[in-house]
Amino acid sequence: MHHPLSLALLLIVATPAWAHNGVKDPQVMARMTAMEHIGDAFQTLVSMAKQEVPLHQAKAHMARDTIVTHASTITTLFEAPATDAKSEALPNIWDNWADFSAKADDLTKAAQALDFKDRAALADTLGAVGSACRACHKPYREKK
Binding site, residues?
A: 133, 136-137
- Map 59-103 to HEC letters: HHHHHHHHHHHHHCCHHHHHCCCCCCCCCCECHHHCCCHHHHHHH
Q: Kindly tell me which of 79 and 88 has the beta carbon lying closer to ligand HEC.
A: 88
Cβ at position 79, least distance to ligand HEC in Å: 12
Which residues form the interface with ligand HEC (CB under 6 A)? 12-13, 15, 19-20, 28, 31-32, 35-36, 38-39, 42, 67, 74, 87-89, 100, 103-104, 107, 129, 132-133, 136-137, 140-141
- Alpha-carbon gap, residue 5 to 45, rounded angstroms: 11
Least distance CB 2 / ligand HEC (angstroms): 20
Q: Is 89 helix (H, G, I), strand (E, B) or coil?
A: strand
Nearer Cβ to ligand HEC, position 55 or 127?
127
Give me the torsion for CA of 71, 81, 15, 1, rounded to 10°: 40
Cβ atoms 105, 98 nearer than 8 A? no
- The rounded distance, in Å, linking the Cα atoms of 91 and 41 is 27
Annotated binding-site members for heme c: 133, 136-137
* Cβ at position 130, least distance to ligand HEC in Å: 7
Quick one: 104 or 123, whose CB is closer to ligand HEC?
104
Cα–Cα distance for residue pair 76/112, rounded to 1 Å: 19
Q: How far is the CB of 31 from ligand HEC (least distance, A)?
A: 5
Considering the complex, state which of residue 32 and residue 123 has its C-beta at the smaller distance from ligand HEC.
Answer: 32
